[in-house]
Amino acid sequence: MEGLLNCIPWVHVAACIMVTWIRLLRLAKDSLCCFLILTQISGAFEIRAAQSGHLTFDSSLEVTGKISGYRGIWFDLGQRSAYGSKYSGGLGTYTAKHCPTAIYSKQTHKTFFVYGGTTQQEERRLLAMVGFFDHSTGMVCQPTVVHDKQKVNDPHDNPSLSIDSEGYLWVFISGRARHRPGFKYRSTEPYEIDAFEQISEEEFTYPQPWWIPGQGVLHLFTKYTQGRELYWNRSQYGLGWTNEQKLAGMGGHYQISRCIGSRVITAFNYHPKGNVDKRTNLYFLETSNQGESWQTVDQRKVTPPLTQTDHMALVKDYEADSRLVYLKDITLDGKGNPVILYITSDHHEPGPHLRNREWTIAQWDGHEWNLTKITHAWHNYDMGSLYIEPDQTWRLIAPIGPGPQRYGTGGEMAIWIRPAEKRQWSHFRNLTEESPRNHGYARRPVNAHPDFYAFWADGNPDRLTPSFLYFTNKNGTGLWKLPYTMSHELEKPIRQY
């Protein structure tokens, strides 16, 4: 009996190999050259067949380990009108509500980042990916698959990133509504991305985990309860969590946030009668004690959840102006006052409207909110990042120029500048020109290093195309494309200029 039991695992392996070869032979019918890579992880085999230097993945098996290149996810919501889809294209760094997506680590001199990837250019299979740029060597690593969403192609399930006080990387992978769960993963070693362990499977969307020095992690997220409602909970080490609490429930909200020191600041809109295509108004709240208490910009305590649209947290009543609000970024100025970046619009559909879309800033001056228009926007889902630098230069990196797919999501990336102590914005430099595909969703790393100041993805909003990932330096004097196909574990990104 003991001998029989000892041979059972080998019988299992032999059966797996037989099935593998059958599948390989089927793949080989259309291949001039095939090779097999077998890896056993948790008892499952991964099959890859290669021809002309690229990999084909068996869609019935989980993809694990490394991917030999940076391949962003392409997506089309499918909600179409006269000027195309509501949003579509290369959405590997989508959404603005997934944050943070990149963190510079002084300890390792690396910028770690996450994105929504895929297996190869003709596929739309979502992989939650993590990679890093090593500032010491100028190289990027082959990215790691943290989680394979398999049949999901929707970048609403993209990941967010956090690093705890011991250097472990945490990847919070978004779920969607109440039918796709979210996941929390932690790296098995500090400051390493080779392996991750799943910590939990939960209901959350749009994860925003903020690790606060000396306190732990505060997680802001969305649940589809009575519309898209805002919640938070916290943990000291990321393993045991407090009960989730509702922050706002006025029919639905979208939220952005940032952690600066011990302060977590957040801005959100609201959805009248739960309709996301009517998103409007602008609200602000903050906490400096992991959500133990919340307050308005003028330090008035509030009792969550917010349920009334005329709440004292209101920054601007855009509903009265029949304007929609699309949130982009939030930060603090040199005096510690909040600054919010967003786009206002007349309608949820793409294309020209009666009134222009506007890139807009809301800044608290200690007494009131001041609203400033930067320039016109081309699309509701053009997403950029706002930097307020130590010398009080304000910098916007965003797809402000019209792209080759004129009415689609994204455009040509540019830098706009507002000098210290001035309110006037001006164009500083184009980052991309005459591109074949629109660029979108420029993301700001936490503690951004000047050599890796923003990163984003490109893609054609009108049809399925490969989606490449890019990054730029602080002054926009260099643009680098991450390699779509990699032959080595570490490679130099491809400098565009």
pTM of the model: 0.88
The answer to whether residues 284 and 336 belong to one domain is yes
- Centre a 10 Å sphere on the Cβ of residue 425 and count the other Cβ atoms it contains: 18
In angstroms, rounded to a whole number, what is the distance separating the alpha carbons of residues 161 and 185? 10
The answer to whether residues 325 and 465 belong to one domain is yes
Short-list 168, 171, 87, CA closest to 127:
171
Q: Which residues pair with 56 in a beta bridge?
A: 49
The answer to whether residues 181 and 289 belong to one domain is yes
DSSP per position, 206-244: EEEEEEETTTEEEEEEEEEESEEEEEEEEESSSSS-PPP
Contact criterion met (CB below 8 Å) for 39 and 64: yes
pLDDT surpasses 50 at 170 = yes
Continuous segment of H or E residues that includes residue 129: strand 127-134
Number of domains composing the chain: 2
pLDDT surpasses 50 at 43 = no
Residue 321 lies in a domain: yes
pLDDT surpasses 60 at 12 = no
The answer to whether residues 265 and 290 belong to one domain is yes
The answer to whether residues 118 and 53 belong to one domain is no
Output the pLDDT for position 423.
84
**What pLDDT, in 10s, does the model give residues 326-353?**
999 999 999 999 999 999 999 999 999 9
Residue 476 lies in a domain: yes
Contact criterion met (CB below 8 Å) for 133 and 102: no
Expressed as residue numbers, the domain containing 6 is 2-57
The answer to whether residues 281 and 175 belong to one domain is yes
Residue 114 lies in a domain: yes
**What pLDDT, in 10s, does the model give residues 267-321?**
999 999 999 999 999 999 999 999 999 999 999 999 999 999 999 999 999 999 9
Phi, psi of 214 (to 5 degrees): 80, -5
Residue 386 lies in a domain: yes
pLDDT surpasses 60 at 30 = no
In angstroms, rounded to a whole number, what is the distance separating the alpha carbons of residues 401 and 382? 10
Residue 63 lies in a domain: no
The answer to whether residues 136 and 245 belong to one domain is yes
* Higher pLDDT, residue 357 or 58: 357
pLDDT surpasses 50 at 232 = yes
CATH number at residue 259: 2.130.10.120
The answer to whether residues 311 and 222 belong to one domain is yes
pLDDT band at 422 (very low <50, low <70, confident <90, very high): confident
The answer to whether residues 40 and 121 belong to one domain is no
The answer to whether residues 7 and 82 belong to one domain is no
Contact criterion met (CB below 8 Å) for 470 and 452: no
Residue 443 lies in a domain: yes
In angstroms, rounded to a whole number, what is the distance separating the alpha carbons of residues 193 and 207? 20
The answer to whether residues 148 and 282 belong to one domain is yes
Contact criterion met (CB below 8 Å) for 436 and 450: no
Residue 65 lies in a domain: no
Q: Which residues pair with 372 in a beta bridge?
A: 361
pLDDT band at 177 (very low <50, low <70, confident <90, very high): confident
The answer to whether residues 424 and 461 belong to one domain is yes
